[in-house]
Structure 1
Amino acid sequence: MSPPPPKRRTRAQSLDGLDALLDALRQQRQAALAQAAAERAAAERAALERDLFRRWVGPVQALSHPARVHPTRPRPAPTARQQMRDEAEVMREALSDDFDVSSLLETDDQLSYRRVGIGTDVLRRLRRGDWAVQRELDLHGLRTDDARAQLADFIRACVRQGLRCVRIVHGKGLGSPGKTPVLKGRVHSWLVQKREVLAFVQARPAEGGAGALIVLLRGQR
């Protein structure tokens, strides 16, 4: 059985296809003309701007571009500023055992100390107990290195918390070799070296007597 003959397109169908093709060609041509017009307008605008620049500025000469060398400078080594500040703080906080405090102490009936600018009335008020003792540190029986570190930490913490009057117990040295109060003298020396300490006096008998000090601290700034 032979296949059926192919269907022939009608005249109307052929005309419709031709019209669609012509429409597509017209649209492409219009798009191309629009793009060309936009490019011409942009070129004309650029030319007008160059002409306007020349009229305003006058004759100009293009700069030459000689070969340039851009040297690579070595970057400076980083500075460990925080480490430097930390080390400076450690040095400032360092307490020397060789500091001679004898000339700074007032050897009246009771040993006392007041920083330059602090009046004698402050010592009298400390002895009378006008300032309530807000905290106490007991160093009695500690080794020198441990006592030094604990004292520095204690003073720093008290000032940070806004405490003004504290008691430092160093003991009377009765248990030391030769009955010599080594720690007592060291505590005096350490306190004088602390800028946070304004004054101190020997505690009253009920508060420790010769084995303790009442210390007045600088207020927090």
Structure 2
Amino acid sequence: MQKKVNLASAGISAEESQLFRESITGAKPIAQDKIPPVVAPRKLKRRTDVLAKALDDNLFYFSDEFEGYIAEGVSLSWTKSGDDPHLTGRLRRGEFQPQVILDLHGMTTREAKAELAGLLAYCAKQHINCACVVHGKGLGILAKKVPNWLIQHPNVRAFHTAPKTWGKHGALLLLLSVED
């Protein structure tokens, strides 16, 4: 049902209305084809619940409040209690070659913690027993945090400041326990 519009209130004169009606005589209505518009395919979303669960499992061991390691000198050195105390010396001399290297340069503390957890999970999965973590010198934030995170993880047997070829004071060589 169409509503009649008063031409005087719309501001259209009778002459303009008559001219319009003459111009549209013979016009045919367009038939609607009713084809819906094509919608672009949506991107598949990642299963964040699975990814978040895996990340939470890897980060379980790391606490920012824990400060169990305090560096006494220029070199960082730690051996898990009950393990061979000579492991750090062997790491220092370069008897173990890292099979994987993780570079944390430019990362925030949160990103670095997640990457370190991922590295340790990867090493356990691939049965890698030696890794190098390059934390850099910079302001020393990661240089202080990384050793405290490492001593909390049960798979870390020992770590020592890396030899010059692997980054010296900006890196740590890790010795990990490999479960068969």
1:157 pairs with one of 122, 131, 134 = 122
Alpha-carbon displacement from aligned partner over 1:89-144 (angstroms, at most 9, x marks no partner): 738724111111236x6x36622011011222111111111112100000111011
Contact 1:163/1:219 (<8 A) preserved: yes
Superposed CA deviations along residues 155-198 of structure 1, whole A, max 9, x for unmatched, are 0111110100010000002xxxxxx3011111111111111100
SS at 1:137 equivalent: strand
Q: Per chain length, whose mean CA-contact separation is higher, i.e. which structure has more relative contact order (CA < 8 Å, sep 6+)?
A: 2
Question: Does the residue aligned with 1:147 lie in a helix, a strand or coil?
Answer: helix
- The alignment status of 1:112 with 2:77, answered yes or no, reads yes
Q: Distance in 1 between matches of 2:84 and 2:112?
A: 29
Cα gap change, 1:207/1:114 in structure 2, threshold over 3 Å: closer, same or farther? Answer: same
Find out whether 1:196 has 2:161 as its counterpart. Answer: no
Q: Match of 2:5?
A: none
User: In structure 2, what is the equivalent of residue 96 of structure 1?
Assistant: 63
* Partners of 2:91 and 2:68 in 1: CA distance: 20
Structure 2 length normalisation: TM-score? 0.64
Separation in 2, partners of 1:135, 1:90? 21
Distance in 2 (CA, whole Å) between partners of 1:95 and 1:109 is 24
Cα distance in 1, alignment partners of residues 102 and 59 from structure 2: 22
1:134-145 equivalences under 5 Å are 134-145=99-110
1:161 partner amino acid: Q
Q: Does the 8 Å contact 1:160/1:220 carry over to 2?
A: no
Distance 1:214 1:141, change over 3 A: same
Q: Secondary structure at the match of 1:132?
A: coil
Q: Is the 2:59–2:117 Cα contact (8 Å) retained in structure 1?
A: no
User: Aligned pairs, how many?
Assistant: 128
- Give the Cα separation in 1 of the matches to 2:84 and 2:91: 12
Which range moved further: 94-103 or 183-192? Answer: 94-103
Deviations 1:24-64 (A, max 9, x none): xxxxxxxxxxxxxxxxxxxxxxxxxxxxxxxxxxxxxxxxx
Aligned equivalents of 2:104, 2:59: Cα separation in 1:
22
Query: Highest CA radius of gyration, 1 or 2?
Result: 1
Q: What residue in structure 1 maps to residue 140 of structure 2?
A: 181
- Tell whether the 8 Å contact from 1:199 to 1:217 is kept in structure 2 after alignment: yes
CA RMSD, aligned part only? 2.3
The alignment's TM-score, normalised by the length of structure 1, stands at 0.53
Distance 2:164 2:99 in 1: 18
> In the TM superposition, what whole-angstrom CA distance separates every residue of 1:58-77 from its partner, at most 9, and x where no partner exists?
xxxxxxxxxxxxxxxxxxxx
Aligned to 1:166: 131
Higher-helix-fraction structure: 1
Secondary structure of the residue that 1:210 maps to in structure 2?
helix
| Identity across matched positions, percent | 35
Structure 2 residue ranges without an equivalent (≥5): 1-52
